Structure 1
Amino acid sequence: MNFHISFKVAILLLFSIKLSSFIYAVEESSPFALNSNGKHLFILSGQSNMQGHRPEEAFTPSIKAALGNDKVIIVQDAMGGQPIKRWWKSWKTINGKISKSNGDLYERLMLKVRKFIKGEKINSITFIWMQGERDANMGLGQVYEDSLNGLYTQLSNDLGRKDINYVIGRLSDFDLKNSRYPHWSMIRKAQVKVAESNPRFSWVNTDDLNDGINRKGKKIKNDLHYSAKGYKILGKRFAMKALKLIKRGTNN
């Protein structure tokens, strides 16, 4: 009798060990398995086309579907018509002139970020940037590459992380001839150059998002801003690029 019970216990123990090993293997195979107790932070900022982006339409559902409802923190803060100097504190003109308004919108953004992450364990951080129209209009393209890199370094230092993912929304095909915004093409090239300079960086194409019907019901063609459908697609693309970078980071 005792032998029979001991044999059953041994079988159950062996089964438990195998089941535990299987569960562990499944968890380890997940692209987001590392540091699974923490949350994934997404910071979205920029000017009008980020302001027009509504995370709840596509970005947030896509992110939560992949990572879990209780595993993400999403913070978006944007203001239309603003140059990148409103975010990067060390911004300078090509002649080295510093503006007094440097970094004020960055501080506004970070107040929100710090509020949301207080007391939280952060697994990964992804910074999503959609901006550049104003700098193209003002002819500030020559310092835009340095500005993108400087903004990233500033955020990394402030959050104490060197592993932040960076997704850059490239300017659309609105003014490829540079007739209205003299540095439009220059800004586009700078965005791609920075995005392709680091395995933690990526960029999103927006060339097909500015045709159709905008949120006011007006038909647009090759517009500065995106259509209602375009903003939803933008959110999905942001999410896709962000998740890909997170997966790549957990596999390193």
Structure 2
Amino acid sequence: MGCGDRWRGKLGLGGFVALLAAVTPQVAKADAETDPEERPGVRLLDSHHAKHHARHHEKKEEGTGGSGDDASWPKIGGHWGLAVPLVSFTDEGTTGIFADFFQIGIAPGITVKLNEKWAVDFEFIAFSRWQYSDNGTPARASTSIVVDPGVVYDFGSFSGGLRTAVQVGEGVPFNLGLVPIINKGFPITERLKWFVELDLPFFITGTPGDSGFSFTPLIQTGIAF
């Protein structure tokens, strides 16, 4: 009796092992053929992986410039404007626009934005001037270029800066200048704005045996990007 029980116990264990070996490949095959969307655990894992990959991709784009607004610095911008001197004070006297002369300049520039506040602006202004006749002095016309790179700081409601300048042209004496500026921008689109700028150029001039100065406030306006 005891021997028979032991025989049936061994037979039952062996049968169970054989049954398990036969069923396991079928279960694995059925599981592999099941649509992942019908398996909640797999769908949840895939969703988590996709979100993690998307976050990683977005961070990579932001760090390298990407397509987002948080591109790395520096950024390149620029402007194009018209410059009109209003009045000129020199060691030889004072002259005013329309009364003594008419002058207009074209002022393009390239701006390197170092961060949200600071920028370096590489500007030059090409001037054309018509000097009216005065007390027997005949009218005359001239052109010149002012090269005036500088730094600009964004205060929020307006920008301010300081340029260094040199005038270049036929008959222009030795000169060096400093140009404080105040700039106010008015948005047109996300990337364009109309600006109005007050420039206050002060120049020291000189020729052999003579020296002088000039202070010529001017208004500049145009488009910045």
TM-score, length-normalised on structure 2? 0.32
- If you compute each CA radius of gyration, which structure gives the higher value, 1 or 2? 2
Greater per-residue helix proportion? 1
* Higher relative contact order (CA closer than 8 Å, sequence separation 6+): 1
TM-score normalized with structure 1 length: 0.29
Question: Which one has the bigger strand percentage?
Answer: 2
